[in-house]
């Protein structure tokens, strides 16, 4: 995609952080933008900073399929067909998996993974039916590649978003709809205050909020990358139809080390029965995957 002007963009988590940065960048390129967020006060504050532009704010719980469909209808009625989708909303729970409850899982999965699924399942069929192309950007994280003990559920969701995005990229290439996955590091945002928007219905088994940790995280996020910087890098990636958007170059060496460690875990085992037949089958799959990657890039 080379030209953004005249397109309609839908940005979840749009009232602060990366979402708000994307809204500013898209408006500057001549897009109409709908920013969706669960915080009404944050939406109102964000809209004030975007005054006198083609932008609207809509309250949305991305974990709700019914709400998503209703909001999508409202946005397209007011702004026109959405062809740029940014599944950006996300929350975090800074604890390990073994210290988590089922409600912890349902909350984080509901926003970080099901929110992306709901966005794709709501808007992509419409984009395909219209035949005017478009682009989908799903916000994952460097936590979709790098992980430690915590935040365990967050890592799980982001790994899933990364895999989902790659598969979707290949299936949508034939429809002139690009797909990218954004993998940022530390961002100047309010994700450290995720507990503020946790639904009452999903608080059973929740640990008391560690206010001291939240305060430390708030100070740390002051050094996060500016959302406007990330947004410009996202738009550059869309123009070039790149899949991975690594906004924070400081992670390059660490990612290389991790993948070297993964490859290093392979062993040269002796051939077992069925080896040659499996290899023959896998050769066909390799060629199919290679062709899918090339088609998604627009090669040939």
Residue identified by tokens 């979402």 is 19
Taking the CA atoms of residue 9, residue 13, residue 16 and residue 17 in that order, the dihedral angle to the nearest 10 degrees is: -90
Give the residue from 180, 167, 169, 194 showing the smallest Cα distance to 138.
180
Question: What is the rounded distance in angstroms from the CA atom of residue 287 to the CA atom of residue 63?
Answer: 37
Question: What is the rounded distance in angstroms from the CA atom of residue 175 to the CA atom of residue 86?
Answer: 18
Catalytic-residue membership of 154: yes
Question: What is the rounded distance in angstroms from the CA atom of residue 24 to the CA atom of residue 46?
Answer: 10
Which of 154, 170, 269, 289 is flagged as catalytic?
154
Contact assessment for residue 123 and residue 48, using Cβ atoms and an 8 Å cutoff: no
Cis peptide before 151 (omega within 30 of 0): yes
Question: What is the rounded distance in angstroms from the CA atom of residue 54 to the CA atom of residue 8?
Answer: 9
Catalytic positions, written as ranges: 154
């Amino acid at each position: 995609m080379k030209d953004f002007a005249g397109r309609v963009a839908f940005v979840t988590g749009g009232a602060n952080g990366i979402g708000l940065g994307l809204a500013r960048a898209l408006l500057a390129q001549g897009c109409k933008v709908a920013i969706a967020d669960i915080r009404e006060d944050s939406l109102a504050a964000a809209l004030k900073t975007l005054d006198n532009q083609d932008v609207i704010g809509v309250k949305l719980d991305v974990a709700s399929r019914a709400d998503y469909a209703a909001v999508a209808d409202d946005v397209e009625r007011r702004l026109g067909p959405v062809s740029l989708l940014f599944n950006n909303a996300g929350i975090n729970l800074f604890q390990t998996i073994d210290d988590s409850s089922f409600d912890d899982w349902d909350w984080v999965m509901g926003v970080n993974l099901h929110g992306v699924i709901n966005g794709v399942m709501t808007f992509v069929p419409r984009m395909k039916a219209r035949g005017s192309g478009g682009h989908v950007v799903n916000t994952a994280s460097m936590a979709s590649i790098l992980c430690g003990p915590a935040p365990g559920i967050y890592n799980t969701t982001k790994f899933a978003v990364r895999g989902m995005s790659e598969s979707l990229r290949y299936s949508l290439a034939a429809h002139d709809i690009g797909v990218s996955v954004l993998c940022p590091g530390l961002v100047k945002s309010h994700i450290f205050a995720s507990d503020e928007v946790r639904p009452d219905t999903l608080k059973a088994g929740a640990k008391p909020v560690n206010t001291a940790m939240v305060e430390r995280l708030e100070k740390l996020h002051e050094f996060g990358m500016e959302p406007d910087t990330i947004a410009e890098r996202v738009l550059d990636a869309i123009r070039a139809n790149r899949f991975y958007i690594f906004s924070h170059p400081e992670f390059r060496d660490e990612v290389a080390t991790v993948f070297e460690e993964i490859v290093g875990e392979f062993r040269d085992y002796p051939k077992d029965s069925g080896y040659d037949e499996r290899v023959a089958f896998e050769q066909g799959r390799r060629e199919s995957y290679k062709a899918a990657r090339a088609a998604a890039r627009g090669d040939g």
